[in-house]
C-alpha cells in the first residue's frame, strides 16, 4: 500500500504525518480518514481550491489533471508546478510527499 508523508503544517498536522492509503483513493480522502482535516469547502466536487496541495515527491505517478481542475488551480494561493487539488489527486502505486499550503482562498470555513 502506498505511503503518503504529509509535511508539517502549523495548524492541520504540526508534527507531520506518515500514513498508508489504498491505490485509487484521493489524497484528500486519505488525509481525512487519518485525522488530517484539509479544508474542502465544495465537498470534494472540484469547485474550489481549499484542498490545494503540493506534491513534493511522487507527482508523476498521479493521473494528469483535467481542464476543470486546472481552471480551479489557477485560482489557488501559492500555485506551483506540482500543485493539485487533494480531492482530484488519486493515489497510484508510488509513495507521495505532500505539503499543505499555509493559506488557501477559503472565505468561509464552516469547520471552525
Instruction: Say which CATH number the domain at 17 has.
Output: 3.10.20.30
Task: Say how far apart CA 43 and CA 93 lie, in whole Å.
Answer: 25
66-87 mean pLDDT = 96
65-74 mean pLDDT = 96
Residue 109 forms part of a structural domain: no
3-state class (DSSP) for residue 13: strand
Q: How confident is the model at residue 39 (pLDDT cuts 50, 70, 90)?
A: very high
Q: How confident is the model at residue 106 (pLDDT cuts 50, 70, 90)?
A: low
Count of domains for the chain? 1
Residue 104 forms part of a structural domain: no
Residue 34 forms part of a structural domain: yes
Residue 111 forms part of a structural domain: no
Task: Say how far apart CA 22 and CA 4 lie, in whole Å.
Answer: 10
Residue 42 forms part of a structural domain: yes
Task: Say how far apart CA 16 and CA 25 lie, in whole Å.
Answer: 20
pTM of the model: 0.91
Tell me: pLDDT of 80 over 60. yes
Look at residues 83, 80, 26 and name the one whose alpha carbon lies nearest to residue 52. Answer: 83
β-sheet bridge partners, residue 42: none
- Domain limits at 85? 3-99
35-46 mean pLDDT = 95
Amino acid at each position: 500500500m502506498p505511503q503518503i508523508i504529509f509535511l508539517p503544517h502549523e495548524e492541520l498536522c504540526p508534527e507531520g504525518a506518515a500514513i498508508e492509503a489504498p491505490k485509487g483513493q484521493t489524497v484528500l480522502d486519505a488525509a481525512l480518514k487519518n485525522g488530517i482535516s484539509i479544508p474542502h469547502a465544495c465537498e470534494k466536487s472540484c469547485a474550489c481550491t481549499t484542498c490545494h496541495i503540493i506534491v513534493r515527491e511522487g507527482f508523476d505517478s498521479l493521473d494528469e489533471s483535467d481542464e476543470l481542475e486546472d481552471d480551479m488551480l489557477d485560482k489557488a494561493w501559492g500555485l506551483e508546478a506540482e500543485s493539485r487539488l487533494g480531492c482530484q489527486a488519486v493515489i497510484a502505486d508510488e509513495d507521495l510527499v505532500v505539503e499543505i499550503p499555509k493559506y488557501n482562498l477559503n472565505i468561509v470555513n464552516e469547520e471552525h
